[in-house]
């Protein structure tokens, strides 16, 4: 699977958990170029398209909601929310999909591909893959009965992945609670976010 990604200004995690502050998972302060209305003129139906695909997918497989939130989380912990997790191996880098925490673990790529395909039909070369991941994470949370949040948009897509950062920045399965707290704090997240993202 290769997601064809388009570069756009800025990237930001948006709001994921219930806590946090001014870090990258906060409400968007300190991340110029990102704002909720980023696609208001270029692709006003973007969120509607994302939600339509998610409603169908999650109705058929409810666990996919957690998988899509986890996919976004695993993307954001490595180089920021830039869709680098979607990139396949190339001649110049190894895919993050092959890292210890991701191999045979993350899923939902086909859902992101379906969303991207429908967005390309409606608004060619407009919505970044990084924003698709963020919108899918929020939409999955909402459709599962979780909170909604204002999501700054306009993220830039990665042009390369980092297998090393994926191995180093993502929590390994044998992490201690203190190790998890430290890793999450490095991302601007608190213990509430840790619990929210760890139960997926």
What residues are designated binding site for Ca(2+)?
Answer: 75, 78, 80, 82, 84, 96
User: CA-CA distance, 148 to 146, in Å (whole number)?
Assistant: 7
Q: Does the annotation mark 72 as catalytic?
A: no
Evaluate whether 190 touches 184 at the Cβ level (below 8 Å). yes
Q: Which residues contribute to the annotated binding site for substrate?
A: 171
The distance of Cα 42 from the centroid of its chain, to the nearest Å, equals 21
Backbone phi, psi, residue 140, to 5°: -65, -40
Catalytic residue among 15, 70, 72, 74: 74
Q: Which residues are catalytic?
A: 74
């Amino acid at each position: 699977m290769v997601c064809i990604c388009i570069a756009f200004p800025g990237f930001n995690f948006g709001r994921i958990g219930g806590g946090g502050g001014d870090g990258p998972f906060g409400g968007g302060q300190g991340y110029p170029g990102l704002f909720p209305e980023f696609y208001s003129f270029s692709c006003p139906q973007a969120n509607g398209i994302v939600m339509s695909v998610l409603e169908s997918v999650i109705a058929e497989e409810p666990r996919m909601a957690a998988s899509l939130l986890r996919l976004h989380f695993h993307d954001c912990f490595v180089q920021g929310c830039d869709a680098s997790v979607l990139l396949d191996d190339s001649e110049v880098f190894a895919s993050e999909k092959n890292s210890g925490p991701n191999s045979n673990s993350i899923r939902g790529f086909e859902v992101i591909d379906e969303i991207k395909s429908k967005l390309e039909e409606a608004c060619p070369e407009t919505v970044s893959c990084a924003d698709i991941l963020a919108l899918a994470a929020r939409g999955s949370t909402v459709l599962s009965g979780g909170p909604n949040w204002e999501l700054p948009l306009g993220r830039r897509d990665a042009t390369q992945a980092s297998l090393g950062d994926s191995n180093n920045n993502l929590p390994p399965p044998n992490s201690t609670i203190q190790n998890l707290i430290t890793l999450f704090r490095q991302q601007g997240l608190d213990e509430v976010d840790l619990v929210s993202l760890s139960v997926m």
